[in-house]
Amino acid sequence: MRIVIAGAHGKVARRLGRLLSARGDTVVGIVRSPDHATDLSADGVEPAVLDLERASVDDVAGVVAGADAVVFAAGAGPGSGAARKDTVDRGAAVLLADAAERAGVRRYLLVSSMGVEGVAGGRTPQGADPVFVAYLRAKLAAEQDLLARRGVAATVVRPGGLTDDPGTGRVTLARSVARGQVPRDDVAAVLLALLDDPRDGAVVELVAGDTPVAEAVASLP
């Protein structure tokens, strides 16, 4: 397969890139900073330096052309304000979808977050940090945009709290799960399995659990 990962220098994205390249897939990683290109090359990932907050649809379509799927794993990151939550976590995700449609790439995996339904309908969780609320709203808006499209088949993965603990290869994956944590290793493994198990849209939550990853993905409706 040929897979394009946006936000390819992120912790989950690099794990996914290494898994894909290790088995012989072609992986293109979109990154904003040229300083990250060397790391991606060492992972077996072809770097594409592109700022998704400034790029045009045609710019991104040129990168994703010929891909079997795109993965959005980018984020504004810690320390960024509410404005960048919107331009990255929503705007860049939508831009990637626009580009995928233009290039004829149907499959799209979006890494979102548990908790987004807490801001649905304009709600504000009591006592929540305003920037975190902006992040959740941006993620939810990106989900809604993708799932409303006919030109892409979007699968949304909402992980719980991310950890750097070693992966176990076992997870809990369903439409709705109890809040919890999950190693980034296992998030990457689930994304890999979803790329291997085509489906026409799904929204799933993901935390640590007892079910082997392949079995958990195969059992999704």
pLDDT tops 90 at residue 14: yes
**Collapsed DSSP state (helix, strand, coil) of residue 35:** helix
| Predicted local distance difference test score (pLDDT) of residue 204 | 97
Provide the pLDDT for residue 76.
Answer: 82
Task: Give the per-residue pLDDT at 217.
Answer: 96
Residues spanned by the domain of 126: 2-218
Q: pLDDT tens digits, residue range 187-219?
A: 999 999 999 998 778 999 999 999 999 999 999
Number of independent structural domains in the chain: 1
User: pLDDT-derived band of residue 43, with 50, 70 and 90 as boundaries?
Assistant: very high
For residue 181, the model assigns a pLDDT of 98
CATH of residue 33:
3.40.50.720
Pairing of strands 2-6, 161-163: unpaired
Encode pLDDT of 88-129 as tens digits.
Answer: 999 999 999 999 999 999 999 999 999 998 888 888 888 788
CB-count burial class (<10 Å; 0-12, 13-18, 19+) for 164: exposed
Contacts of 7 (CB under 8 A, 6+ apart): 13, 30, 31, 72, 73, 74, 75
Facing residues of 212 across strands? 170
Is beta strand 161-163 parallel, antiparallel or unpaired with respect to 181-183? Answer: parallel
- DSSP structure string for 68-126: SEEEE-----TT--HHHIIIIIIIIHHHHHHHHHHHT--EEEEE--TTGGGGGGG---T
Q: What is the pLDDT of residues 55-96, one digit of tens each?
A: 999 999 999 999 999 999 999 887 788 899 999 999 999 999
